């Protein structure tokens, strides 16, 4: 019979409130369905424009089960739906007691509020006035008589806790903007534990492999000095983060792991310069001193440019990106201190005591590696430009044809990561969910088009991420549960989850993974998605501009700035192009999200290190040999820094590969972008940045002359 009355009153029970605001009650589980009906185009045509229907903040006091919620009908004023009086007029609100000892709330208003309050209460004697915060009714007391002076007592069936809560709401009402959850992440404890464990595992493996690599390249003692500096760098970074009471997150661990690879750069620069001084005939003590001195400017410039990108990440990123940026900035500063100062103290200590006098900073493995190279980087610029040009055109074409797989960070929506017992088909789940959601909105004309995306995670095909924009503009546990229930019912119907052994409560519990369940969820509202999109664009642009200005100040020649920024822009477009070409074809997510933008900016910061080191050597050679052929100086500088370029790239790739393989699914896309950044950035430093700077200087590259 209820359905014959209408679908609304089948789930909504109207009541006679006798001049009060309360008009109906409903079960908590039905509120999402009721909201859909009340927000439909049909309802908007029937309901008065100045009528607003809002739910109570907690269950009906008369209902002992705690499952019934009150629906209030509230009259608003003006075309913008604002309340007649807003919270900024409240000067004081506190819990109190009346003459009979019953809990009440006392409220005071300013002069303007008192005047408006007197008018409002006079016009509504015998009716109710609702107190609303964040679109939810906290109280709706009846007006007994006109209230002059703004001093008001609100009474009712209050407990002491109720009066405290209501007083806090009235005080919070002073804020001009309503509070709304625009981004939310929920991760089950077991998933978080796995991520942290994977992060530590990748850190340990990366550190061990780096230790072996440094000893293999530069000898046991120099290698261990560098390794001890890395270890101190880690403890200093961790100590500073602890003093700041920073929480341990996956992004923070990734920042520490990546700092290891970038910190090696300073040691490599010093050791390579020291090797050059030894080959020039200097004694060890003098060679080490000059090695530190000559490498200092390159280390300083490369660290500052990395810190610039770190600050941009911090100010424009949110959540995990801020954590990553904080760790990266602290790690870079600590690495500068440990590599430049502490390691030098160690060498001076032993050399002043006539110890370690046999150091060569080489091993049988590395003695002749990348030494005395005479590659003609400059004269091969046409081939280099052609190869990079083709890659650029392919990337741009892919962006226009295939586009990018954008995450909810940029589109808005909800993500649910679901784990299963057996392998599942992401295509079958997506098809079933599409049909389910489309059936739900078939009669809801006001609901925007629903998009659903299901992405398989990992190679075992036992985990998927389900993304949807369904009811993204609505908040509340009821909406979240409605979506989770749709997903649960679809998976049960499709046989991916056994409904007999896994009920809905088990499925939505982030810590219950046996039999299949949601293990983490994320929500990003449309407003924050728009902010993230613009923030991402501006952060990349600002990073390039800041680096352009810094290099211009340091090198005092626009050619070096132009060469750097063109190469960095090319790096960025090619990384994005690879993501466009490859998404959907490999076994992990290549979605464009905040983490990806962080990887792009970090890759820019890393790539500029190579370019700064090369340009620093070019500047040094130009000052030492002003009459020498400029093309020869450029090419010799590229060859003389080649060992450092390769060693730094290899050491950073070691760290990134450890993150990629052992760091877990949550950080795999980030490490993949960084791997691309290192490979592409190294090539662009050698084949794009230097030739471009040379051409901007106004010189013509000779293709036949000997450059060596």
The pLDDT tens digits for 46-71 are 777 777 788 877 777 666 666 788 88
- Nearest to 460, CA basis, from 256, 665, 270: 665
The span from the CA of 107 to the CA of 90, in Å, is 7
CB 454 within 8 A of CB 426: yes
Task: Give the angle subtended at the CA of 284 by the CAs of 280 and 285, to the nearest 5°.
Answer: 120
Q: Which two tokens stand for residue 652?
A: 């950073």
* Residue 157: CB atoms within 10 Å: 9
End-to-end Cα, the chain, rounded Å: 94
60 Cβ contact list (under 8 Å, min separation 6): 25, 68, 69, 70
What is the tens place of the pLDDT at every residue in 510-553?
A: 555 566 777 777 665 554 445 666 666 777 788 788 888 888 88
Q: Where are the alpha helices (DSSP H) in 140-249?
A: 160-172, 189-218, 220-243
What is the tens place of the pLDDT at every residue in 220-230?
A: 888 899 888 88
Give the strand order in the sheet containing 131-133. Answer: 12-14, 22-27, 68-75, 51-59, 136-139, 131-133
Can you give the pLDDT at residue 486? Answer: 81
Strands 517-524 and 413-419: antiparallel
The span from the CA of 595 to the CA of 673, in Å, is 10
Q: Which DSSP string do the residues of 500-523 spell out, in sequence order?
A: TTS-HHHHH-TT--TT-EEEEEEE
Can you give the pLDDT at residue 172? Answer: 60
Identify the band that residue 665 occupies on the pLDDT scale cut at 50, 70 and 90: low
Mean pLDDT across 351-374:
81
Chain centroid to Cα 404, Å, comes to 17
Can you give the pLDDT at residue 321? Answer: 66
* Positive or negative: CA dihedral 493, 495, 497, 503: positive
The highest-confidence range among 35-44, 267-276, 399-408, by mean pLDDT, is 267-276
Strands 22-27 and 12-14: antiparallel
| pTM of the full structure | 0.62
Beta-bridge partner residues of 105: 95, 154
Taking 70 as the threshold, does the pLDDT of residue 457 lie above it? no
Can you give the pLDDT at residue 389? Answer: 93
Task: Give the angle subtended at the CA of 451 by the CAs of 446 and 454, to the nearest 5°.
Answer: 155
Buried b (16+ CB within 10 A) or exposed e, 282-311: bebeebbbbbbebbbbbbbbbbbbbbbbbe
The span from the CA of 180 to the CA of 173, in Å, is 14
* Residue 575: CB atoms within 10 Å: 25
What is the tens place of the pLDDT at every residue in 390-408?
A: 999 999 999 888 887 776 6
The span from the CA of 379 to the CA of 705, in Å, is 8
Mean pLDDT across 654-662:
81
CB 596 within 8 A of CB 669: yes
Can you give the pLDDT at residue 643? Answer: 81
Indicate the DSSP class of residue 139: E
| Residue 255: strand, helix, or coil | helix
Bigger pLDDT: 454 vs 691: 691
Taking 80 as the threshold, does the pLDDT of residue 76 lie above it? no
User: What residue ranges define each of the domains in the chain, with the CATH number in brackets?
Assistant: 1-82 (no CATH), 85-133+140-179 (3.30.1360.200), 184-366+378-402+529-696 (1.20.1640.10), 413-524 (3.30.70.3400)
What is the tens place of the pLDDT at every residue in 243-253?
A: 776 655 555 66
- Nearest to 604, CA basis, from 581, 561, 575, 643: 575
Give the strand order in the sheet containing 103-109. Answer: 90-97, 103-109, 152-154
Q: Where are the alpha helices (DSSP H) in 556-689?
A: 558-582, 594-624, 630-640, 642-662, 668-684
Buried b (16+ CB within 10 A) or exposed e, 529-550: bebbbebbeebbebbbeebbeb
Percent of the chain with pLDDT over 70: 78
Can you give the pLDDT at residue 477? Answer: 61
Beta-bridge partner residues of 107: 93, 152
Can you give the pLDDT at residue 534? Answer: 67
CB 238 within 8 A of CB 203: no
Beta-bridge partner residues of 133: 136
Rounded mean pLDDT of the chain? Answer: 77
The span from the CA of 453 to the CA of 458, in Å, is 16
* Residue 521: CB atoms within 10 Å: 22
Indicate the DSSP class of residue 27: E
Can you give the pLDDT at residue 174? Answer: 46
Q: Which DSSP string do the residues of 82-103 spell out, in sequence order?
A: B-SS-GGGEEEEEEEE-TTS-E
Can you give the pLDDT at residue 64? Answer: 61
The span from the CA of 216 to the CA of 211, in Å, is 9
Q: Which of 361-365, 380-384, 486-490, 592-596 has the lowest mean pLDDT?
A: 592-596
- Nearest to 216, CA basis, from 647, 635, 666: 647
- Quickly tell me which residue has 């915060």 as its tokens: 133
CB 355 within 8 A of CB 283: no
Can you give the pLDDT at residue 461? Answer: 65
The span from the CA of 670 to the CA of 321, in Å, is 11
Can you give the pLDDT at residue 574? Answer: 93
CB 332 within 8 A of CB 258: no
CB 131 within 8 A of CB 74: no
Can you give the pLDDT at residue 195? Answer: 57
The span from the CA of 689 to the CA of 439, in Å, is 55
The span from the CA of 540 to the CA of 598, in Å, is 9
Mean pLDDT across 136-163:
78
CB 338 within 8 A of CB 233: yes
Q: Where are the alpha helices (DSSP H) in 89-188?
A: 111-123, 160-172
Beta-bridge partner residues of 413: 524
CB 181 within 8 A of CB 475: yes
Helix, strand, coil shares, percent, the chain, to 5: 60, 15, 30
The highest-confidence range among 30-39, 201-210, 558-567, by mean pLDDT, is 558-567
* Residue 214: CB atoms within 10 Å: 25
């Amino acid at each position: 019979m209820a359905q014959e009355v209408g679908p609304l009153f089948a789930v909504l029970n109207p009541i006679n409130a006798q001049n009060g605001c309360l008009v109906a009650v409903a079960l908590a589980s039905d509120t999402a369905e009721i909201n859909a009906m009340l927000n439909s185009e049909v309802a908007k045509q029937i309901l008065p424009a100045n009528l607003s229907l809002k739910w109570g903040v907690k269950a009906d006091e008369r209902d002992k089960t705690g499952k019934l919620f009150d629906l209030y009908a509230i009259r608003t004023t003006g075309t913008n739906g604002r309340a007649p009086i807003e919270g900024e007029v409240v000067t004081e609100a506190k819990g109190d007691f009346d003459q009979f000892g019953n809990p009440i709330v006392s409220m005071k208003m300013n002069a303007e509020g008192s005047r408006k309050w007197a008018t409002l209460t006079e016009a509504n004697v015998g009716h109710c006035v609702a107190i609303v915060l964040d679109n939810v009714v906290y109280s709706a007391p009846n007006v007994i008589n006109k209230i002059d002076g703004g001093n008001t007592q609100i009474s009712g069936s209050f407990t002491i806790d109720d009066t405290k809560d209501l007083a806090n709401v009235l005080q919070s009402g002073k804020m001009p903007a309503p509070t709304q959850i625009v981004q939310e992440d929920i991760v089950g404890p077991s998933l978080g534990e796995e991520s942290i464990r994977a992060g530590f595992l990748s850190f340990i493996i990366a550190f061990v492999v780096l230790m072996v690599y440094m000893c293999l390249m530069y000898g046991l003692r120099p290698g261990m000095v560098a390794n001890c500096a890395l270890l101190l760098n880690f403890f200093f970074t961790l100590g500073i983060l602890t003093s700041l009471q920073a929480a341990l997150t996956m992004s923070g661990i990734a920042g520490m792991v990546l700092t290891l690879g970038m910190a090696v750069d300073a040691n490599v620069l010093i050791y390579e310069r020291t090797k050059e001084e030894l080959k020039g005939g200097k004694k060890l003590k003098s060679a080490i001193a000059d090695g530190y001195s000559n490498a200092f400017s390159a280390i300083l410039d490369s660290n500052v440019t990395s810190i610039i990108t770190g600050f941009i990440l911090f100010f424009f990123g949110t959540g995990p990106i801020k954590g990553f940026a904080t760790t990266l900035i602290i790690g870079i500063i600590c690495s500068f201190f440990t590599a430049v100062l502490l390691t030098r103290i160690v060498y001076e200590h032993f050399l002043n005591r006539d110890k370690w006098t046999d150091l060569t900073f080489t091993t049988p493995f590395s003695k002749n590696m990348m030494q005395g190279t005479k590659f003609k980087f400059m004269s091969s610029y046409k081939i280099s430009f052609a190869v990079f040009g083709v890659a650029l055109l392919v990337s741009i074409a892919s962006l226009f044809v295939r586009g990018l797989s954008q995450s909810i960070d940029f589109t808005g929506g909800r993500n649910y990561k679901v784990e299963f017992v057996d392998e599942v088909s992401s295509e079958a789940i997506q098809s079933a969910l599409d049909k389910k959601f489309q059936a739900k909105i078939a009669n809801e004309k006001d609901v925007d088009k629903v998009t659903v995306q299901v992405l398989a995670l990992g190679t075992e095909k036992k985990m998927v991420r389900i993304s949807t924009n369904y009811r993204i503009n609505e908040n509340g546990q009821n909406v979240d549960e409605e979506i989770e229930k749709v997903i649960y019912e679809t998976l049960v119907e499709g046989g991916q989850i056994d409904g007999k052994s896994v009920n809905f409560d088990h499925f939505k519990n982030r810590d219950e993974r046996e039999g299949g369940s949601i293990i983490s969820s994320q929500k990003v509202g449309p407003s924050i998605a728009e902010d993230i999109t613009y923030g991402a664009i501006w952060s990349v642009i600002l990073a390039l501009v800041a680096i352009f200005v810094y290099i211009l100040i340091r090198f005092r020649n626009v050619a070096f700035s132009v060469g750097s920024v063109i190469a960095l822009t090319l790096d960025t477009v090619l990384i994005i192009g690879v993501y466009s070409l490859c998404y959907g074809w490999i076994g992990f997510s290549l979605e464009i999200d905040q983490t990806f933008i962080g990887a792009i900016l970090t890759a820019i910061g890393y790539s500029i290190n190579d370019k700064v080191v090369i340009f620093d050597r070019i500047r040094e050679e130009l000052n030492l040999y002003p009459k020498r052929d400029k093309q020869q100086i450029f090419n010799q500088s590229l060859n003389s820094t080649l060992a450092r370029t390769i060693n730094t790239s290899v050491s950073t790739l070691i760290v990134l590969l450890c993150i990629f393989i052992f760091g877990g699914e949550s950080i795999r896309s980030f490490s993949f972008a960084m791997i691309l950044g290192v490979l592409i950035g190294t090539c662009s430093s050698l084949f794009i940045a230097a030739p471009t700077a040379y051409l901007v200087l106004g010189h013509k590259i000779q293709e036949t002359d000997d450059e060596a």
